[in-house]
Amino acid sequence: MKVSSYPFPVRLLIFLLNMLLLFTAIIVARDYLYPIVLGMLFAYLLFPIANWLEKNHFPRILANLVSIIFGIIVIASALVFIYNQIEILLQDLPQIKKQASQNIGGIVSSVNDYLGLDEREIRNLLSQRVNHLFDSSSDFINNVFSATTGTLVKAGLLPVYVFLFLYYRTKIAYFILKVVPEKDKKLTIDILREIADVTKKYMGGVFIVVLILCILNSTGLYIIGIKYALILGIISALFNFIPYFGTLLGGLVPLVFSFLVMPSPIYPLRVIFLFIIIQFLENNILTPNITGGAVKINPMVTIFGVVAGALVWGLPGMFAIIPILGMVKIITSHLEDGKSYAFLLGTGGTSKHAINRKNLMSVFKSLGFKNHEKNENI
């Protein structure tokens, strides 16, 4: 008896049970699965280098090894540089705490002038909170690097997975073609090619955008006079690996720092203005032109997916969920029974309500027409 012949409540229950089993399996096998998924995504990222080397008469094994070693050197150099910059900040932590306490004291005095509260108690309470904040921040930074080290140990097989995906990519494609029926082989080839093109473009584009944002953020923070502009700009840019939430979370780091540490309240306003400009550039110039909207997943599904990825796999899940959803969208868009799901995942169907030049011009024309009619009636 086919599942489609069951009543709707039964089919819904079966679907929910299958989803529950799937998520349970993904969570239980977390430490095994996410290095494999990340290995696949990084293989797509390094594929252009490996493929170029192969076309220039490098054996596939040597081309893959050179590509992976290059990727490891780049990532290791970036981590060492970030760690050294954080060490500089931690050395100045006592001075930063002192400045933060002074800033909090000034805020307390201003509030006390208006509300008539007990300034001494408030000042002592906030000073304790500030000291606790910076002590916790120091511990947090150390814990982050410890956790990162632990993650790297768990993902120690990641370069091996990248190598295996690069080396056996042709064999995997042939295996998939042998599995599907003869009539679906051409469709399968089209799906595999589209997945490869979109994933390569997305992975490479994201890293390029983050690199550009490291430069823009650090330069902007330096120009407006924020201390430790380099490390703050890099940290805020790294958050952009997380879609949608990344820009907001990244901007909060220099904003809170400038509010607590900088000597004037004008600096937080400068930071807000700076990140409004950077977000505009990133959303309207950098990402559209570099990634080209490669995966074309709508914001609702993206946000739901990022939250689900965080709950299931943590940071690796938040990073991997968008290309995975992009692959699902490509597959479903080529299947007759899956086109409705591809429509749900995609960006189509909301152009009427989108904020773009065409819709804004129609609104202005409509308002102008109504005002013209009112003037004639008067």
Q: What is the pLDDT of residues 279-291, one digit of tens each?
A: 888 877 887 777 7
Number of domains in the chain: 1
pLDDT score for 46: 94
Q: With 60 as the cut, is the pLDDT of residue 62 above it? A: yes
Q: Which of 63-72, 180-189, 329-338, 355-364 is predicted least confidently?
A: 355-364
Mind listing the pLDDT tens digit for each residue in 304-352? Answer: 988 888 888 888 888 899 899 999 999 998 888 788 888 888 877 666 6
**More reliable by pLDDT, 371 or 61:** 61
For residues 220 and 290, what is the distance between their CA atoms, to the nearest angstrom?
21
pLDDT score for 270: 92
Q: With 90 as the cut, is the pLDDT of residue 373 above it? A: no
Spatial contact of 310 and 317, defined as CB atoms under 8 Å apart: yes
Spatial contact of 203 and 44, defined as CB atoms under 8 Å apart: yes
Write the CA distances from 22 to 15, 17, 25, 26, 73, integer angstroms. 10, 9, 5, 6, 36
For residues 355 and 138, what is the distance between their CA atoms, to the nearest angstrom?
42
Q: How far is CA 125 from the centre of its chain?
A: 36
**More reliable by pLDDT, 32 or 290:** 32
Q: Which of 98-107, 227-236, 244-253 is predicted least confidently?
A: 98-107
Q: With 70 as the cut, is the pLDDT of residue 216 above it? A: yes
Q: Is 89 among the domain residues? A: yes
Q: Is 120 among the domain residues? A: yes
**More reliable by pLDDT, 165 or 364:** 165
**More reliable by pLDDT, 167 or 286:** 167
Q: With 70 as the cut, is the pLDDT of residue 262 above it? A: yes
From 187, 287, 172, select the one nearest 240 (Cα to Cα): 287
pLDDT score for 147: 47
pLDDT score for 375: 52
Q: Is 129 among the domain residues? A: yes
Q: With 90 as the cut, is the pLDDT of residue 70 above it? A: yes
Domain range for 121 is 8-145+160-165
pLDDT score for 106: 66
Q: Is 170 among the domain residues? A: no
From 217, 205, 241, select the one nearest 321 (Cα to Cα): 241
Token couple for 206: 């994201």
Q: With 90 as the cut, is the pLDDT of residue 42 above it? A: yes
Phi and psi angles of residue 283, each rounded to the nearest 5 degrees, phi first: -75, -30
**More reliable by pLDDT, 294 or 214:** 214
pLDDT score for 211: 93
pLDDT score for 44: 93
- Compute, in degrees rounded to 10, the torsion defined by CA atoms 112, 116, 117, 118: 90
pLDDT score for 54: 93
Q: Is 33 among the domain residues? A: yes
**More reliable by pLDDT, 189 or 336:** 189
Q: Is 62 among the domain residues? A: yes
Q: Is 82 among the domain residues? A: yes
Average of pLDDT values for 61-73?
A: 94
pLDDT score for 232: 92
pLDDT score for 274: 92
Q: Average pLDDT over the chain, rounded to whole?
A: 80
Q: Which pTM value belongs to this model?
A: 0.77
Top-ranked range on mean pLDDT: pick from 112-121, 181-190, 243-252: 181-190
The burial class, CB within 10 Å (0-12 / 13-18 / 19+), for 39 is buried
Q: Is 87 among the domain residues? A: yes
Average of pLDDT values for 40-59?
A: 93
- Compute, in degrees rounded to 10, the torsion defined by CA atoms 111, 116, 119, 123: -30
Neighbours of 250 (CB within 10 A): 27
